[in-house]
Structure 1
């Protein structure tokens, strides 16, 4: 019942759009990716052609130089390991929001891998004793682990962390839906191609928030209000880029009222159901004047009050918010009940 449109516009380089109040917190639980051995991990499968974000017009982005031009002198018996991460081989460095953890590569008798060092700097330097380690770095919901072997000499290590961002909005007829009335669940895969995960990768994203994700294909489920206004859209996340996506709902806010006369005062203590043309229940409420967001289409409003039932058929048009008054008259039987049908107006 809901029409679906997706508008993706260039969002620019991710590094240019990040700020402290838009990054996920350091305590976010992130899925660990497989170890990449002594080389950066493989680049994710190239997404199918879809509307995707690009860098701003102008020259192609240049890979930034390694931030560790000079490494500090390490304490005796240790080596200085300068770490940094970039979005891709030809993409820029990740400028902030990174969380680094260094573990010994051999477990303790308990089975746990000892945490040796951690940092939240974009390019930390770790002083490590010779031996094997696993370096884990996370950025929002993107993360990767890499095994390194430290010897007597200090050196630089750079990790490729393919990650990008999306900013989501929703509107009706080019009128933006207030952020508090819409939420977004993000799933891995493609809804249109039938290869979608059944569990959200990120739940209840807010409109306008920058969500950092591993580069790849996702589909977004947008829920407007507390009715049946739900739509889906496929989105691609490119390394080092931000995709601004707007999902276009076709729905309206409907206020249900049981009244003695058209335009009169609503009767208290009414209980409500909204039914589809086939009699399936869409939404129920014990509020006397409930507000439902319903997708464009035809419905039946059923009011129960003082042992009687009243009903009215009505139509929802996209963007046309209005009250639906059910008049108190002859007792009516809604389509969902297997008794003789009456008139509710």
Structure 2
């Protein structure tokens, strides 16, 4: 079972992982028998003893050969961490031939969606791969005559992510999503999960991950490197320096919003970060200085604003004060 601990991160701290349930069914394919290699050509200078016909197979050798091709029972199970309890479900098992084929791929010989996979495989060398949520591991598997059992230590943990605005101001779940990458430099990171909603429990291999929290869809982004520990569930809360804002064009302070307005919001460096058309558009902006332009017909009205972290805010642009080309 996963033990739980609470960890709150301020713009860069936290870690963990979990599992997704999968259907249960066993699909085993008959392993294709590899044909015997051709015998070498006789040596022209060999003595009669060297070129003598091979002895006929004995009953004992035939029995041994048949046993080597007979499928043997194989039981596969996994646990979250060393000395943990076996995982009852949510596992995906795949067994591959250890030797690649002519295409360089390892042929899949068996698959199972059961917590404990029970398969029949001919004696030989294989590679077994198990996935539990987004945690996965591959290990060699040797099948010998008789019962074969293998327990895999996944060394997995669980991560549950959430975010808030600085000051513990909650963010609506519909405004949040998370991406999980492997750790390392930006050029070398690999995407593990994308667009996760808050409070989802994600199973991952133990290790460090790069987390990206998106508040809204523009520029309110927080990043953190988080450590996932085997057998533990970690709650991580990342804090955004941003605010949800709405705009309206009015003829006087507190007046009714004017309809059919084209809106443009530009950052301090002149980059356009938001455009919309309507009487009352809204978005999320990271803290900073912005220029808000409201165009109605041929007339353009503008206002300089500073966004500070906090709750929802309404920004008015006055037709009688803020205007320009």
- TM-score scaled by length of structure 1: 0.70
Which of 205, 209, 214 lines up with 1:218 in the alignment?
Answer: 209
| Cα distance between partner residues in 2 of 1:139 and 1:162 | 11
Unmatched 5+ stretches in structure 2: 1-8, 24-68
Which residue number corresponds to residue 302 of structure 2? 311
Residue 262 of structure 2: aligned partner? 271
2:320 is paired with a residue whose SS is coil
Q: What's the counterpart of residue 154 of structure 1?
A: 147
Q: What residue in structure 2 maps to residue 72 of structure 1?
A: none
Choose which of 222, 227, 233 in structure 1 pairs with 2:224: 233
Q: Cα deviations across residues 220-255 of structure 1 (Å, max 9, x unaligned)? A: 111111332111111111112111100111221111
Equivalent residues in 2 for 1:71-220, closer than 5 Å? 77-108=70-101, 112-172=105-165, 173-189=167-183, 197-220=188-211
Give the 4+ runs in structure 1 shifted more than 4 A.
Answer: 6-9, 107-112
Contact kept, 8 Å, 1:24 with 1:212, in 2: the verdict is: no
Following the alignment from structure 1 to structure 2, what is the Cα–Cα distance between the partners of residues 247 and 179?
Answer: 14
Deviations along 1:237-277, one digit per CA (max 9) or x if unpaired, are 11121111001112211111111222222222211111223
How many angstroms apart in 2 are the aligned matches of 1:24 and 1:230?
A: 31
Structure 1 segments unaligned to the other structure (5+ residues): 27-75, 335-345
Q: How far apart are residue 124 of structure 1 and its match?
A: 1.8
1:309-328 Cα shifts (integer Å, max 9, x gaps): 11112222322312111111
Q: Is the 8 A contact 1:185 1:220 kept in 2?
A: yes
1:23 aligns with 2:10: no
Structure with larger RCO (C-alpha < 8 A, sep 6+) = 2
Note if contact 1:24-1:211 (Cα within 8 Å) is conserved in structure 2: no
Distance 1:308 1:198, change over 3 A: farther
Number of residue pairs the alignment of both structures matches: 271
Q: Which stretch has the larger CA shift, 321-330 or 252-261?
A: 321-330
**CA RMSD for the aligned pairs?**
2.7
Q: Deviations over 1:299-339 (max 9, x none)?
A: 221111111111112222322312111111367347xxxxx
In structure 1, C-alpha distance between the alignment counterparts of 2:263 and 2:20, rounded to whole Å: 42
TM-score (norm: length of structure 2) = 0.74
* CA contact 2:22–2:113 (8 Å) conserved in 1: no
**Partner Cα distance (1:83, 1:266) in 2:** 66
Aligned to 1:298: 289
In 2, Cα distance between equivalents of 1:189 and 1:333: 48
Larger Rg: 2
Q: Equivalent residue of 1:268, what SS?
A: coil
